[in-house]
Structure 1
Amino acid sequence: MVENSNLSLEERVEQLRKAKIGESKGPKIQGVAHHLRERKHWAEHCSPKLISLGPIHHGHPNLQLGERYKQTWAAAYIHTTGQSPESLHARISIFIEDLTCLFDASLFANNDEFRNYQRQGFGSVEEKICWTMFVDGCALLHVLENPHIRFEDVPRDVLLLDNQLPFLLLKLLWRNADDGDLIRTMESFLHRHVWPVADADEARLGFDYSDPAHLLDL
């Protein structure tokens, strides 16, 4: 935007004040940049092979088998919590506006699965988003707690930038109120699939954690 050179000092200060108020509270989850995704041989390294998590690849025809697995894993996780699906879903419903704001808005607006929510029996796009977050979040927590899962594509898919889910979502669905327990579960998964254990432990000595944005933000 071109700056108006006729503004007074007071008006310029007011512009700065409003810009500060409108400042983003944190990074939003978004996909790999298009200029990278469109490079030859690059797209296959950006896209999931079995499961989608979140809105970016949700509903892709090649991932329908993964949708069935996610349902199974979500049900398994919920069973281990000793809580009802309804109570866990209600937590997401209460915070759905906050959760949606953690994603780039275009991710939902540009996905036909969310635009055509009524065809899937949902009364609003918020209901569709809420259900998707609920199932995906529970499925991811099951995978994080079971890093030896037999599908070799699953750890790869979980670690894709396009498949990240907000930490707030996992926190709301976690089996207890111990955020540290959740963080340790996430770290354990990363230890197995990404981090050299000794190096990771050394790097974290004395480090004061704030909540990560998502798994890859640890």
Structure 2
Amino acid sequence: MMASHTTLEEKFDELQKAEETPQISAPKIQKVSEYLRNRKEFKKYYLPRLVSIGPIHHGNANLKLGEKYKLMWAAQYIKNTRRIAQDLHKKIVDKIDELKGLFAEDVLTATKESLKGFSSLDEKLSWILFIDGCSLLYFLAAMNADDNAEEILIIKLDQLSVVMTDVLLLENQLPYLVLKLSWKNDNETGLNEIMENFVEFNLWGTA
């Protein structure tokens, strides 16, 4: 009888605690919820087909071609902006604790599962964010240029269309801080413009 009485007390304690208003945590980059992942028709909203951006789909064997494109675009971005690669990477490294706080814990755990070529999670994540940030900025700038984007990016038109979709996917996102740290100067106006123009083009424009 005593055990049953204690259990009821615990249940009433749990009920009372449920009255407390839960703290709302800051939004983080995370995987799509399982109930949505199980919908086959929903995959097009979160699963990249050519280019991974950020850690969630990094290392996917089906996206190896995209890794080559990203490396090429990142190198070209650094050259065009006359920056030193090591300096840009260090800006990410110096903010890595803050940047890790912008990702869900399970994303960081999955990223740490394979450290091939890296000595730690911090080293791997900083490299992913560095390359993906520079390559994404080069891609966005190319999409805002007057010339043909496919010629600037050295990519086929049909592949370009796929990348344009990949950039907007739910699990293919970077923290704004990464782009800010990698931007060519301290003026964020130009950065915000190329981002807004890209989104507007995808919503209302035609390729």
Report the count of equivalent residues.
182
**Counterpart Cα distance in 2 of 1:53 and 1:95:** 19
Change (3 A) 1:81 1:40: same
2:175 aligned with 1:179 = no
Query: Is 1:39 aligned with 2:39?
Result: yes
Distance 1:60 1:4, change over 3 A: same
Structure 1 residue 186 displacement after superposition? 0.5
- Which of 175, 184, 188 pairs up with 2:197? 188
Q: In structure 2, list runs of 5 or more residues that go unmatched.
A: 1-9, 144-148, 151-156
- In 2, Cα distance between the equivalents of 1:127 and 1:110? 15
Give 2:125's aligned amino acid: I
Partner of 1:115: 113
Deviates more, 1:29-38 or 1:128-137: 29-38
Q: Which residue of 2 aligns with 1:211?
A: none
**Alpha-carbon distance between aligned partners in 2 of 1:89 and 1:77, rounded to the nearest angstrom:** 13
Look up the match of 2:138: 142
Decide whether the 8 Å contact of 2:46 with 2:172 is kept in 1. no
Alignment-derived partner of residue 126 in structure 2: 130
Measured after TM superposition, the shift of residue 40 of structure 1 is 2.8
Give yes or no for contact 2:53–2:172 (8 Å, CA) kept in 1: yes
Alpha-carbon RMSD across the aligned residues, in angstroms, is 2.5
Provide the rounded CA distance (Å) in 2 between the counterparts of 1:139 and 1:145.
10
The answer to whether the 8 Å contact 2:89/2:130 transfers is yes
Greater per-residue helix proportion: 2
- Give the C-alpha shift of residue 3 in structure 1: 6.9
State the match for 2:176 in structure 1: 167
Distance in 2 of aligned mates of 1:158 and 1:86: 25
Q: Distance in 2 between matches of 1:172 and 1:28?
A: 18
Conserved 8 A contact 1:29-1:104: yes
Aligned with 1:42: secondary structure? helix
- 1:99 counterpart SS class: helix
- Partners of 1:134 and 1:31 in 2: CA distance: 21
Structure 1 portions without partners, runs of 5+: 197-218
State TM-score, norm by structure 2. Answer: 0.79
Residues 145 and 189, structure 1, Cα contact 8 Å, conserved in 2: no
Q: Which structure has the greater CA radius of gyration?
A: 2
Deviations 1:18-47 (A, max 9, x none): x76xx53x2101122221121133224421
- The TM-score, its normalising length taken from structure 1, stands at 0.75
2: CA distance, partners of 1:116 / 1:143: 28
Instruction: Say yes or no: does 1:57 pair with 2:57.
Output: yes
The SS at the match of 1:56 is coil
| Contact 2:45/2:170, CA 8 A, preserved across alignment | no
